[in-house]
Structure 1
């Protein structure tokens, strides 16, 4: 196994895991969770997909990992307390989505990846970014996958205490991140693996099942017995040994992406 590489792509920090063989190889891009593992480096350690003949480039989410303010996530937590949807969840997804095209161009310039379609993977809130890339861009993608993903942002908002005070603006924002409603667009772009822990939050688990049903034969559900929402132990910022339950997820993702990779990438 070759050592991880770190860098930035158009201002976005990344941890890149190279394939075993030299030469141009396909590219898989990921966005991590805000639960553990909550940085690109930690996500790379939890889900390295080492047996894939592809570059796995794990991007950092806003205000996480190398982009933490003063070395902690306190600034992000303050935004969460201010307004969990409009100050935190929605802008985090929007920023990660909007910065991706330039980051992808920079990755292609820096690393020996081929120019074929890419794979995309997201965990939890990072799953909403991956799904938005699938639903709203024309970037060529050979396959996507999400793990315990934020498939309907309303379900994520419901995880926080109290009744959220929706108004016209926040209703529009939360509905823009309902990917069950965008199932046709997702299905038209690429096949999707939906990984769902059987012990994940019930609302997120239900959304995973509904999305697969809505996408029909273009999606598959991989249920992981014993998996709750996180994939790593706290604090989840630095790379840590892969947990046995994460190894199961890793194996499923590896098999999925390998199935959809072509000899030409």
Structure 2
């Protein structure tokens, strides 16, 4: 197995895993969780998808991994205390989404991934980034997947203590990050696997089911027995041994992306 490649793409840290044979291959881009595993390196270790004949490029989320302030999560916790939605959740998704086009262009220059359709994958808050890429860009995608994803941002806000004081701006923010409401745009773009842990938060599990129902035949729901929300043990910043439940997620992702990969290779991008 090839060693991970680390670098930056337009300022975004990444951990890249080459296909088994090395050389040119399609591209799968991922965004990690803010629960464990909460860095690109840790996410790559939890879900290496080693049996996929693609480059797996795991992008770092804002203020995580190599971009942590003073090497700790204290700055992130301060943003959560300030305003969990408008200072933390929404800006993280927006920044990662806005960084994506330049990061993708840089990856294509650095790695032998060609210019064909890509795969996208996101976990938890990174799932909202992957869904926004599907719903809000014209980047050709052969297949997508999300794991314990932030599908409706209102449900994520509800996980935090207290009643959130919504106003016009925050209502607009959660509505824009409601991907069940935006399922039509996603269904038109690519098939989507929705992975849901049996022990994940009930609201997130309900959203996963609602999204699959809204997407119809282009989507599948994969429930992982015994999986809570995280995919790794704390602290989740460095590479760590894989949990059995993460291995089950990995196997499901490999099967899904393999199934759609040949179709993605045949299709050519319709935009630069």
- What TM-score do the two structures reach when normalised by structure 2? 0.96
Within a 5 Å distance, the mapping from 1:175-214 to structure 2 comes to 175-214=175-214
- 1:89 maps to 89
Cα 1:246–1:261 change in 2 (3 A) is: same
The 4+ residue runs of structure 1 with deviation greater than 4 A are none
1:70 corresponds to 2:85: no
**Structure 2 CA distance for aligned equivalents of residues 62 and 115 of structure 1:** 26
**Structure 1 CA distance for aligned equivalents of residues 243 and 185 of structure 2:** 34
Question: C-alpha offsets along residues 39-95 of structure 1, whole Å, 9 cap, x if unaligned?
Answer: 000000000000000000000000000000000010011000000000000000000
**Structure 1 CA distance for aligned equivalents of residues 177 and 245 of structure 2:** 28
Within a 5 Å distance, the mapping from 1:158-169 to structure 2 comes to 158-169=158-169
Q: Shift in Å at residue 264 of structure 1?
A: 7.2
**Structure 1 CA distance for aligned equivalents of residues 245 and 227 of structure 2:** 6
- 1:99 maps to 99
Q: Shift in Å at residue 96 of structure 1?
A: 0.0
CA contact (8 A) 2:117 2:264 kept: no
Count of residues in correspondence between the two structures: 265
CA contact (8 A) 2:37 2:46 kept: yes
Q: Shift in Å at residue 115 of structure 1?
A: 1.4
- 1:30 maps to 30
1:113 corresponds to 2:113: yes
DSSP 3-state at the match of 2:53: coil
Cα 1:89–1:20 change in 2 (3 A) is: same
Cα 1:264–1:215 change in 2 (3 A) is: closer
- 2:270 maps to none
Q: Shift in Å at residue 23 of structure 1?
A: 2.5
- 1:242 maps to 242
- What TM-score do the two structures reach when normalised by structure 1? 0.99
- 2:268 maps to none
- 2:215 maps to 215
